[in-house]
Amino acid sequence: MSILRAEHLEKTFGGTAAGSARVAALDRVDLAVEQGEFVAITGASGSGKSTLLHLLGGIARPTSGSVLLEGVDLASLDDDALARLRRRRIGFVFQRYNLLSELSLVENVALPLVLDGVANARAEEAAHAALKAVGLAHRAGHRPDELSGGEQQRGAIARALVTEPAIVLADEPTGALDSANSRRVIELLMQLVAERRQTVILVTHDPGIAALAGRTIRMRDGQIESDQRNVSSGTASAATPPLGGSPAGAVSQ
């Protein structure tokens, strides 16, 4: 059974107030993601990638259609239940505004557990483990603004992982990073997929990164234009190919 399923997802913005134009950000999107898949979503700016991710992650509700995570229909949950589901089953990584600047790195990572009522010591223990996994154990006590962009982003990944979520959703996590840092972040995500059979959905503009994923979904005008499985890469056993080059031939259209 798919770990995540979207059926007939639609999302329109505006149109309620007089004069404001209706924008159909998503238009009848169907999608199923299996456990351990590494899915890359690409597409032109404004094609609805972020919107899709928000709906899948339960931080916005669709205009119509449904999202099922591990068999649970998100539409059936009230706000609080949805919040609990987010903090237990979903990990988010975004391009910016990822870490609370008031908290240290380890506190940031522990936050989802703390929100869930986990005792402090245990939460920080788990946070330390997660930081170790992303190679940041030595920066645990630092504030976000004392870290580089790449380190912050790895910290965000650690936070996304700390609850051992069903799925990690990442919206252009490398958008603000240089190629070296981008590479480390992506390697990290791929390693997770490989070692833990972690399901990851990643939005990216970078064809090189998309090529590394086991599956590439291309969006256009709010619809899925293509949905391609790559044989050569992105599987649980795939090695890590070099980044930044031309699309590895597997990307087909």
Partner 1 sequence: MNLSRLLLRQWRKRPGRALATVASVAVAVAALVATWVAADASRAGYQRLAETVEGVPSIDISARGGGRFEATSLPRLADIAGVRAVVPLFFRPTLLRVGEKRVRELAVGVDVAALVDAGLLTLTAGRACEEANEIVLDSALAEGLEKQIDDEVIMFARRSIRRMTVVGIADSESLKWFAEGGGVVVGIQPLEQMSNAFGLVDRVRVVVAPGGSRPALLEAIAKRLPAALLAEVPAGRAGMAEDILHSANLGLDFVTGLTIAMAFFLVGNAMLMNVTERRRSFALLRVLGATGRQVQRFVTVEAAVLGLVGSVVGAALGLAAAGPISVGISNTLQAPAAAFTVHPLVIPVAVALGTLVAIAAAWWPAREAARVEPLEGLADAPPPAEGVSRRFLLLAIVMWAVAAVVMTLVVWERLPPRAAVPAGILMMLAFVATTPFVLPSLCAACARLIPERWRIERTLAVEQIIRQPIRTALTTGVLVVAVSNAIGLGHAIRDNVDDVRGWYTRLMRADWMLTHAGMVAGGLTPAGPQARLAEEEVRAVPGVQRVEGIGVATGRVAGGACVVVARDIPADRPLPIDPVGTTEAELRQALERGEVAAGTLLARRVGIKPGDEVDVEVFGRTTRVKIAALVVDYTSGGASLLLRRDAASRLFGLEAADIVLVTAKPGRAAELRDSLRQIAESHGMLLRSFENVQAFINGIVSGVVNSLWAILGLGFVVGSLGVANTVTMSVLEKTRTLGLLRAIGMTSGQVTRLVLLESLLLGVAGGLIGTVGGIFTALLIQFASQPLLGHPIRASLRPSVVAINLIAAVAVTALAAWIPARRAIGLDLLESIAAD
Residues that bind ligand ATP (CB under 6 A): 13-14, 23, 25, 43, 45-51
Residue placing its CB nearer to Mg ion in the complex, 50 or 163: 50
Nearer to partner 1, 89 or 183 (CB): 89
Outline where DSSP puts E strands in 75-232: 90-93, 167-171, 199-203, 215-220, 223-229
47 binds, among Mg ion, partner 1, ligand ATP, none (CB under 5 to 8 A by kind): ligand ATP
C-alpha–C-alpha distance, residues 159 and 65, integer Å: 30
Query: Nearest residue to Mg ion, using CB?
Result: 50
87 binds, among Mg ion, ligand ATP, partner 1, none (CB under 5 to 8 A by kind): partner 1
For position 50 contacting Mg ion by CB under 5 A, the verdict is: yes
Question: What DSSP state is assigned to residue 169?
Answer: E
What is the rounded distance in angstroms from the CA atom of residue 185 to the CA atom of residue 191? 10
Residue 230 to residue 129: CA distance in whole angstroms: 32
Q: Give the SS3 label for residue 183.
A: helix
Question: Among 7-15, 82-90, 134-142, 205-213, which window interacts with partner 1 (CB under 8 A)?
Answer: 82-90
Q: Does 45 bind partner 1 (CB under 8 A)?
A: no
82, exposed or middle or buried, with CB in 10 Å at 0-12, 13-18, 19+?
middle
Binding of partner 1 at residue 167 (CB under 8 A)?
no
Residue 182 beta carbon to ligand ATP: minimum distance, rounded to whole angstroms? 16
One of 37, 151, 171, 206 touching partner 1 (CB under 8 A): 171
C-alpha 228/C-alpha 108 separation (Å) is 36
Binding site partner of 116, from Mg ion, partner 1, ligand ATP, none, Cβ cut-off 5-8 A by kind: partner 1
